[in-house]
Every structure is written in C-alpha cells, then in structure tokens.
Amino acid sequence: MRPALTAGAATLALLLAALIAACQDGEEPAAEPSSVDVEAGAAIAARLMTVGEPLGTIVESRAAAIVPGLQVALNPTVVAVIASAVEAADERLTSIAAVAGMEPAAFAELWDADRDDAFARFAAGIAATEDPSATADDLFIDLPVALPVHPQGELLGSVLTKRTNGELAFFIVYDTPDAQIDAERLVGEQVDQSPWQVTGARSSEDLGFFQFQNTISANVSGFAWILPRTPNPADAATEADERGDGDAAGDGDTATEELGPPSTVIYLIQTQPAIPPEEPAYELPEHGRPLPERFPAASLLEGDQTVTELFWSSQPGVSGYQLSVLVSGSSFDIADLYRERIEAEGWEIIEDQAVGFSTILEFASEDRSLQGSASFDTFEENEAYTQITLQIQSAGTSPN
C-alpha cells in the first residue's frame, strides 16, 4: 500500500469539504443547490482527488452521504464468510439471510447484484438482535465493524478512490460543534477501542492527528485529522439577527471562545485486497517527457531513450534536474555508453562505483559549472530495460 497520506492530503480533503459545502449552501444560505451546481462540485472534487494518484484510479464522491462500499471494505473476513455461504447455498446461508430479514434465494440474488446493500441489511439485522455478539458467534462469523465517528458530526460528504491494484481509500468529512481540543480527545478515544488501535498521533493548536489500525484485519487502516475551522461570519450574523440581540456569539451548539472555534474531522480509511490483482505487463510510454529547452546534458540522452519522469528547479545562478530514463539493454552496457558520452563532452568522471547490481557514475565539467550523477539498474517492472536516474546541477543557465 502507498505510504500514509500527509497533511497535504488533509488540505486536499478540506478543499473537497469546501466544495461540497458550497454545493449544498450556495452563496445564499436559503437557496437550494441546483443539480448543475452539485454535479460541478462533485466533478471538481473528483479531479482534485486524482492529484498524485496512479493512472487509472477511479474517483467517486457523494455530498452529505458516504460513498457506497465502506461497510464491505471494513469487513473483509465477514464478507469472505458470507460469500462462501452464498456460493455453497448451505444452511449457513439460510441463517445469514434470516438475520438480514430475507429468504435465502433473495439474499443470494441481492448479494450477487448489490453486495453493499446485502451486507448493509445483514449488518443492520445483526445489530438489531438482542445480543449481536452471541448472534455472530452462532453464525461462526465476526461481528461487523463500523467506523466510529463523532456523535454530533454533520456529514459534509465523502470521496472514494479505487486504484488499479485493488486498494481503496475513503475520505469522509464531518463538521462538529466541538472545539478542536475536545473533538480531538473524543476521536482519539473512539479510534483506540476494539477493534481499532491507535498506532501514532500528533497534537498541536492547529492540528490533531491519529493513525489507527484494525486489529481484526491487517489490510484495514485509518487516519483522522481534527482541525479548527473559522466560523462563517454570515451565519453568525444571521443567528444574532434571529435572536434580536445583535450578539454574534451564540450559546447553542458552537464551541466557546475559551476553547476555540468549532472543528472539522476528516477520516481516511485505506484498505487493500487480501490477494492483489495481477499487475499487467509493463508497457513503455509511447512518448517520453519533453526536456527543457536548455537542458545542459541532452547529449547523454541521444538515441532510443525514454524519459519517464522529470523534475527541475531554477534559482538565481543555478538550475537542478532529476530524470528517470528507461532504455533497452543491460545496465552494464548502458553504463559503458554513458562513460563514453561523458568523456566525449570533455567532462571528468569523478567516481565510478558498483553498489550491488547497480552502477553509479559521478561527473563534472572542468570548471565545475556542471555536476551530475547517473545510476544504472535493472528496471523492476521489466528486466529487459535499464532504469537510469540522472541528476544534473548546472550554474548560469535557466531551463527555459
């Protein structure tokens, strides 16, 4: 699974929350949002959430609702048991269907057509029994797990990203009336109760953060950000007008001045499949990334080489570049080719070393205005290619 998303992801989720809230409220609080507004907000949110995601990632979003699929994603072991019972069509299916309030055949048909709905009915049915734990034990099944959320939270919306490798990421955004410090305390307690366990935390005046793990399934993990939010002055003025006292500081469900403004809670649940889908064979991009106009080491890249990734930055007097390059052939042969080209440019190879199965060259021009390094290794996704990581620092030139 990808590394845990950082505060940048929290900011992105806040943008999502703002978009959804805008779609709900509009510029005038009393106005109903149009279907065009809602669709536009959802489309923008979906585009934002693809930032940094691999190609092929699917994004779904909902305003004031949770994207379908969360319950199923949180309960892989329960889902596996139910799926097995549906396939076997045995007595366990009869018992499971009865808990869901359905006939076995109808439940099996719904399971195949809409697994989320079928699971929701089963989870609701087992929760409604006199002793849910005993009912689960009778079925030899785990008690369905739910995400504990702030009890006074107002659901703004949610986003689901589905990656091609089967990983799912659910962003769920709530506004709460509590001050950040109170909401942080409550959320921390909620995500540290079985079957959840806190594995890391951060606390400051402007951000509370928890990382937590599902103790039943190692494939389910979560994060929670708790942030203070700035109250809307228009809402405060409206509240004051309704009271008729001109005082914008209400005594209802908003946080007190002593504890700070009310808060927003952002949950992120990440799941990965027990058996990841088989990755398709790697295909070289049809076109490589274009080089900046004044890239100072273009001669090294002549011939059939494909730049798959490029970073560059420019500051007064110096420019820096980092490239990932793929080329057909062995890493040893490609390293020899680069040695020849570096020497043909009149540059000096300062260091030439083998590190495991890779080769690293460090080089510089005679006046040291250009310095660089190149590493060569077999490309993990297709051993027919060598992957080159090329770093160049050049003085006195601008990339464009």
Would you place residue 399 in the very low, low, confident or very high pLDDT band (cuts 50, 70, 90)? Answer: low
- Both 163 and 182 in one domain: the answer is yes
Q: Range of 114's domain? A: 76-138
In this prediction, residue 234 carries a pLDDT of: 57
Whether residue 317 is contained in a domain is answered as yes
Cα 74 from chain centroid (whole Å):
16
- Other Cβ atoms closer than 10 A to 371: 16
In this prediction, residue 53 carries a pLDDT of: 81
As a whole number of angstroms, the distance between CA 229 and CA 203 comes to 16
Report H helices in the chain.
7-25, 35-49, 70-74, 76-88, 91-99, 104-113, 115-127, 132-138, 180-190, 233-243, 331-344
- The string of pLDDT tens digits covering residues 11-45 is 454 455 445 554 444 444 445 556 656 666 667 76
Whether residue 281 is contained in a domain is answered as no
Task: List the CATH number of the domain containing 324.
Answer: 3.40.1000.10
Query: Is the pTM for the entire model greater than 0.85?
Result: no
Would you place residue 5 in the very low, low, confident or very high pLDDT band (cuts 50, 70, 90)? Answer: very low
- Both 303 and 175 in one domain: the answer is no
Whether residue 349 is contained in a domain is answered as yes
As a whole number of angstroms, the distance between CA 76 and CA 82 comes to 10
Whether residue 247 is contained in a domain is answered as no
- Both 88 and 191 in one domain: the answer is no
The secondary element (H helix, E strand) that includes residue 295 is none
As a whole number of angstroms, the distance between CA 209 and CA 271 comes to 19
Whether residue 375 is contained in a domain is answered as yes
pLDDT, averaged across the chain: 86
In this prediction, residue 266 carries a pLDDT of: 95
Whether residue 56 is contained in a domain is answered as yes
- Both 226 and 124 in one domain: the answer is no
Contact of 184 with 201, CB cutoff 8 Å: no
The secondary element (H helix, E strand) that includes residue 272 is none
> What total number of domains does the chain contain?
3
- Both 171 and 108 in one domain: the answer is no
- Both 90 and 60 in one domain: the answer is no
At residue 324, φ and ψ (nearest 5 deg) are -110, 130
Position 379 pLDDT exceeds 80: yes
Which one of 91, 120, 138 terminates a domain?
138
Contact of 270 with 221, CB cutoff 8 Å: yes
The secondary element (H helix, E strand) that includes residue 326 is strand 318-328
Average pLDDT over residues 253-261: 63
- Both 381 and 302 in one domain: the answer is yes
Whole-Å CA distances, 179 to 175, 228, 257, 262, 383: 11, 7, 9, 4, 55
As a whole number of angstroms, the distance between CA 187 and CA 209 comes to 9
Residues 6+ apart with CB under 8 A from 39: none
Whether residue 302 is contained in a domain is answered as yes
Rounded to a whole number of angstroms, the distance between the first and last alpha carbons of the chain is 37
- Both 212 and 359 in one domain: the answer is no
- Both 314 and 350 in one domain: the answer is yes
Lowest mean pLDDT among 82-91, 250-259, 286-295: 250-259
Whether residue 157 is contained in a domain is answered as yes
- Both 122 and 266 in one domain: the answer is no
Position 316 pLDDT exceeds 80: yes
Whole-Å CA distances, 153 to 133, 173, 229, 239, 256: 27, 9, 14, 20, 17
- Both 103 and 36 in one domain: the answer is no
Would you place residue 218 in the very low, low, confident or very high pLDDT band (cuts 50, 70, 90)? Answer: very high
- The string of pLDDT tens digits covering residues 351-374 is 999 999 999 999 999 999 999 999
Which one of 112, 138, 164 terminates a domain?
138
| Type of residue found at 106 | A
- Both 57 and 82 in one domain: the answer is no
Which one of 90, 118, 138 terminates a domain?
138
